[in-house]
Amino acid sequence: MPIEKAYIILSIALFLIGLLGVIIRKNLITVLVSTEIMLNGVNLSLVAVDSWLGKVDGQVFSLFVITVAAAEVAVGLGLVVAIFRLKGYEGSSELTHLRD
């Protein structure tokens, strides 16, 4: 088995750990941290396949993923702070306006 397959399995595990964090965490900020873990898992698999193929296209995509992650953090944390200041919510179980 080539070592890149082990890297891909590790990246799948990292993505699923991030998904578990999105499902089970109560605090909205730690939910955002878990999405960052998911994006890092995707980056790891892109770079691993890139190293097997001997090209650089996957690393370019990984660069774009890092860019989108930075934009997502800026807008997401702004949303969390705005929700907290306007409504006083800090837990994901309190955001039930669309359900009610």
Whole-angstrom distance, CA of residue 100 vs CA of residue 88: 18
Q: Is 69 in the site for another protein (CB under 8 A)?
A: yes
Q: Single out the residue of 42, 64, 95, 96 in contact with another protein (rule: CB under 8 A).
A: 64
Among 59, 67, 49, 62, CA closest to 4: 49
Give residues with Cβ within 8 angstroms of 62, minimum separation 6. 43, 46, 47, 50
Shortest distance in whole angstroms from residue 17 CB to another protein: 5
Residues numbered 13 to 42 that lie near another protein (CB under 8 A) are: 13-14, 16-21, 23-27, 29-30, 32-34, 36-37, 40
Q: Is 95 in the site for another protein (CB under 8 A)?
A: no
